[in-house]
Structure 1
């Protein structure tokens, strides 16, 4: 039975019959390319949005972590100051007027502190870092009532409240003072201006609608930037009702209770203090860059689709060219076959344009590739990218070198490993046969290169070992002498610090040499990290002695650095039963000089100052006094075991 055909189907089949194969291929190519561009746009848009959101989450979480550390360090500094004052008053309860100077020095040392004051059991301010001491009674302050009614010794953070001396908004950080029989004796309080946080937060760009909040763990808003709100109760928010109960840090999408905008919010609860830090960025600002990129991609895609027809024509031309190249690759001359059969090295013939026309069968042994895989390709495709410029320079000079030229370069085998080849190139001119060409004889020299590299690496390692202390990883005394010699030619001033670990023999006797080695390694890491910011140089001088050189440092800078270094060693809290301090400490002597330098004299004066620090009781920093050295020109005496003190000279 005959089946009738619809008119449209018949018209389509008639059109297909008239369309040439090339036209059909071009049409299919255009359609496929358009589909690929559209698919790529959709995939890229989706993926870039995902990446933008992931980067925002990572960046916002990291910023919340950084701000939490900033808040921790801010209150920790005040905590340390208050703890020091409480310990001092416990030992010396009778305070004189000079104690105000001590409070003023503590407040000046920490930029976050506005004031430090002592309040007695009646609430009167008896000592303060401000001059004159204000005649105030703070018995009505919340922190005073809390410490009066609660015997705990924890740090209390109160605020924000209005300062009675400056009128500014401040946070009060306080601790309880007690008498010898544990009765309430008053409060030591330090204040931190709210502007300290807001001034720091305003340096952070969170985009339109972004905000930073510092909250108390009970939900009180301490400060919110940029609105500068405070005191608001946020305990009913999603953050305190749900998120903090699940995890001390997190990230989620929410509607801001401050401005009603949809925002991504990262939070972190500080473990050391009852504080929570949040960082919020609006969804629109997070995705604004992504939207701009999508619009740009759409414009680029439109331009690409406009050029599709031209690209199809170029592709057709390339296909024809490929057929021609394949035809040329089938032509093999007899003398090439003769060379291939009788040579053990790899023989390669290239035309003047660098296209390989013949490759001997031995290439399969060297590179793991068949000749057919290389013929018709440019030699630059196979050579390591770093070696291409050198070989191109050889090719330029080859025509003017009748004797030929040699070169070494790298290529990659099919297994993925790299081989070194030594090649002899010669330029051959011929009016018949294959015409002008370059003949290359290639030989595998990988093993020789590996041996050369091993010898070079061994020499470099030996040189490094000669300059480095094997235990601490610091430069040794030889490197120290070289650094001082180099620095003496450029620096105008120089400070040399001699550092000795206190009571180290007793430490070794108690913990053994392995424990002593571990302690020296910790100190080496500490000294190395400390001198980096000073452009200085730390070295192990010998035994438990270290030397640090600070170019362009005067006596004040050297003393400041030495004190910070001594404090950092104590902060390591390495237990030392042989020390009166109970922990590992160092004594430091330093000497400063101006150009021209006498390095031997600087080292000697620093060493004398070190022994002076030992004689004065250890755990201190002493500057060299050249005049005193001249007066006491006798030989240096071994240090005597003396009780150490905590203060520095």
Structure 2
């Protein structure tokens, strides 16, 4: 955007410089023309000069016309009735009455008008020629209207002035009077001389907002141009320099495409790199989660380990205290497991531990239930929102599932691997904290073992024991 603004600023500056040069040249040439007119007016108001023979009077009135621009077609002195009385192109004035011309009537009706520049007019004296008429009033000694001195200024001057200007494809220059009447369009696009721009969108925007430069769309050909306006206050003219926007922003457009493509490639590269980084981060998160799980999962049985059990049990304990709902804990111990290891070997023992752990896990699958390996052949199951009766049902299901494994154990009085279970609940009087819950349940396991194993022992609310099979 900054580059586009810079391109606009450069184009506006170039257009303003060109407009200043055009204004200077036109103003200077107009001043020379006016000097010739003013000299003729001074002579026409001198009675002695006007009594001279025609050829002397002509030379005296128009002797300065040679110093004016070569584009002055003719200088005329008219009387109060519009008749030519002195003609710079002929000793004998042409017999044409011009009293109906605007430049004549305006001086007749406005004594203090000064220099007047007409609209472009088809010359009545030189058919086919279009001129701007520069004129001044001539007065009698008493101030009354005596006639007009007028100079016909050919439009070829403006064409030649602008002929070397290069605005690029689609650009144009318009010279017009401040009321909107066109003097000249360059290059010629068919706009007729004296066409009025008053009411056109871009011209009215300049007149109403006083913006001297802006981007606008031509109402004639629909092209976007950078319009630059400059007013010639002395001559009441306006020049509009309007290069095509495509030409003004050609270099910027190519740079913008280059920058845009490079930026797009950088963005794509960054997105690709970000995607790779995202994949790497996701992979790291997975690995980290796996590592965290490894630190909280028992590697042999797949149940939660002791560390995870402690954290979850503490959480559920506080939750139970806040909600007032019961919390039950099962302490599960495999019967005669040392004998099993001694008889069948440690590998068979590991397999048996895994099988029992899965049986326990299958019967504690509610959301919030926690099955964990406490250590060795001991397991703990935490049952949130569960009272003693419901916990006994879960314990019975675990007994059945373990017996259903039918793992041979000749060192056990039951012939297969079995478990002893101790159950404790938060309504037990001895339980005052989470660790107390484990302690009470562990004591209940010892009672179950003492009663013959393969049993569940319930820790009663008042410290008693009930042994069930």
* TM-score when normalising by structure 2: 0.50
Show CA shifts across 1:76-98 (max 9, x none). 22222222222233334642322
Answering whether residue 216 of structure 2 is matched by residue 254 of structure 1, we say: yes
What's the counterpart of residue 3 of structure 1? none
- Is 1:80 the equivalent of 2:35? yes
8 Å contact from structure 2 (residues 201, 219) kept in 1: no
1:540-582 Cα distance to aligned partner (Å, 9 max, x none): xxxxxxxxxxxxxxxxxxxxxxxxxxxxxxxxxxxxxxxxxxx
Structure 2 residue 175 is matched with structure 1 residue 220: no
Question: Which of 60, 66, 89 is equivalent to 1:130?
Answer: 89
- Please, which of 120, 123, 128 is the counterpart of residue 79 of structure 2? 120
- After TM superposition, give the deviation of residue 233 of structure 1 in Å: 1.5
3-state SS of paired residue (2:45):
helix
Alignment correspondent of 1:14:
none
Answering whether residue 163 of structure 2 is matched by residue 202 of structure 1, we say yes
The answer to whether residue 242 in structure 2 is matched with residue 280 in structure 1 is: yes
Shift of the alpha carbon at 1:256?
1.9
**1:241 is aligned to 2:201:** no
**Structure 2 equivalent of residue 191 of structure 1:** 152
The residue that corresponds to 1:289 in the other structure is 251
**For the Cα contact (< 8 Å) 2:19–2:241, is it kept in 1?**
yes
Per-residue CA deviations over 1:398-421 (Å, capped at 9, x if unaligned) read xxxxxxxxxxxxxxxxxxxxxxxx
1:177 is matched with which residue: 125, 138, 147? 138
Decide whether the 8 Å contact of 2:36 with 2:64 is kept in 1.
yes
Mapped pair 1:53 → 2:11? no
Q: Which residue of 2 aligns with 1:408?
A: none
Range with bigger deviation, 69-78 or 50-59: 69-78
1:64 to 19, 23, 31: 19
Contact 1:68 1:276 in 2 (8 A): no
CA deviation digits over 1:27-46, x for unaligned, max 9? xxxxxxxxxxxxxxxxxxx4
Helix, strand or coil: the match of 2:185?
A: strand
Answer whether contact 1:143 1:158 (CA < 8 A) is retained: yes
Query: How far 1:137 sits from its partner (Å)?
Result: 1.4
Partners of 1:221 and 1:182 lie apart in 2 by 35
Compute the displacement of 1:68 (Å): 2.2
Counterparts of 1:396-435 in structure 2 under 5 Å?
none
Secondary structure in structure 1 of the residue aligned to 2:199? coil
What does residue 230 of structure 1 align with? 193
Q: CA deviation at 1:254?
A: 1.3
Mapped to 2, the partners of 1:297 and 1:222 lie a distance apart of 44
Find the aligned partners of 2:165 and 2:60 in 1 and give their Cα distance: 35
How far apart, in 1, do the equivalents of 2:19 and 2:221 lie?
20
Aligned residues: 258
Structure 1 counterpart of 2:126, from 166, 188, 205: 166
| 1:484-563 to 2 correspondences below 5 Å | none
Report matched runs for 1:9-20 at 5 Å: none
For the residues of structure 2 that align with 1:239 and 1:81, how far apart are their CA atoms?
37
In structure 1, distance between residues paired with 2:161 and 2:66: 19
Task: Give the Cα–Cα distance (whole angstroms) in 2 for the partners of residues 260 and 278 of structure 1.
Answer: 17
SS of the aligned residue for 1:72 comes to: helix
Alpha-carbon distance between aligned partners in 2 of 1:85 and 1:300, rounded to the nearest angstrom: 70
Say if 1:103 and 1:116, in contact at 8 Å, map to a contact too. Answer: no
Name the Cα RMSD after superposition: 2.8
Q: CA deviation at 1:143?
A: 1.0
Q: Closer, same or farther in 2 for the Cα pair 1:281/1:85, shift >3 Å? A: same
Q: Distance in 1 between matches of 2:258 and 2:125?
A: 57
Deviations 1:269-289 (A, max 9, x none): 112122111111110111123
Distance in 1 separating the partners of 2:230 and 2:66:
30
Structure 2 counterpart of 1:108, from 59, 62, 66: 66
Classify 1:295/1:252 alpha carbon distance in 2 versus 1 (closer, same or farther; 3 Å).
Answer: closer
Cα displacement string for residues 130-187 of structure 1 (whole angstroms, at most 9, x for unaligned residues)? 1243222111211112212222242111121112232211000101111011111110
CA contact (8 A) 2:36 2:62 kept: no
> Which of the pair has the greater relative contact order for Cα pairs under 8 Å at 6+ separation?
2
1:13-35 Cα deviation digits (max 9, x unpaired): xxxxxxxxxxxxxxxxxxxxxxx
Matched ranges for 1:323-472 at <5 A? none
Q: State how far apart, in whole Å, the 2-side matches of 1:229 and 1:68 are.
A: 22
Give unpaired runs (5+ residues) of structure 2. Answer: 265-469
**CA 1:218–1:298 in 2, change beyond 3 Å: closer, same or farther?**
closer
Contact 2:49 2:57 in 1 (8 A): no
CA change 1:93–1:242 in 2 (3 A) is farther
SS in 1 for 2:238: strand
Separation (CA, whole Å) in 2 of partners of 1:75 and 1:286: 32
Q: Distance in 1 between matches of 2:186 and 2:170?
A: 10
User: Following superposition of structure 1 onto structure 2, how do residues 565-644 of structure 1 map, counting pairs within 5 Å?
Assistant: none
Matched with 2:117 is 157
Higher gyration radius (CA): 2
